Amino acid sequence: MKDFIAGQDRALLERHGLASYDALWALQLEAVDEPNTERGGWSSVYRLDLGEAAFYLKRQSNHLTRRLTCPLGEPTFAREFRNIKRYQRLGIPALQAAFFAERRVAGERRAILLTRALDGWQDLEALLEGWQQRAESERAGILRSCGALARRLHDAGQMHGCFYPKHIFLRQNADAFSAQLIDLEKTRPLLFGERDRIKDLEPLLRRASLWSESEVRQLLAAYLGADADVEHWWQRLGSRRRNKEARR
Write down all domains in the chain, each with its CATH number in brackets. 4-116 (3.30.200), 122-246 (3.90.1200.10)
CA angle 154, 157, 160 (to 5 degrees): 60
- List of residues 6+ apart from 218 with CB closer than 8 A: 140, 143, 144, 147
Q: What is the pLDDT at residue 247?
A: 78
List pLDDT tens digits, range 70-91. Answer: 767 789 999 999 999 999 999 9
Out of 58-62, 65-69, 148-152, least confident range: 65-69
> 93: which residues sit within 8 A by CB, 6+ positions away?
87, 149, 152, 178, 179, 180, 181
Handedness of CA 38, 114, 148, 145 (dihedral sign): positive
For the chain, what percent of residues have pLDDT higher than 70?
98
Q: What is the pLDDT of residue 203?
A: 96
C-alpha 232/C-alpha 182 separation (Å) is: 29
pTM higher than 0.85: yes
Whole-angstrom distance, CA of residue 191 vs CA of residue 184: 17
Alpha helix stretches (DSSP H) within the chain: 7-15, 21-26, 76-90, 124-127, 136-155, 194-207, 213-224, 230-246
Residue type, 130: G
The least confident of 37-41, 114-118, 181-185 is 37-41
pLDDT of residue 174: 82
Average pLDDT score over the chain: 94
Q: How far apart are CA 217 and CA 76, in angstroms?
A: 35
pLDDT, average across residues 180-190? 96
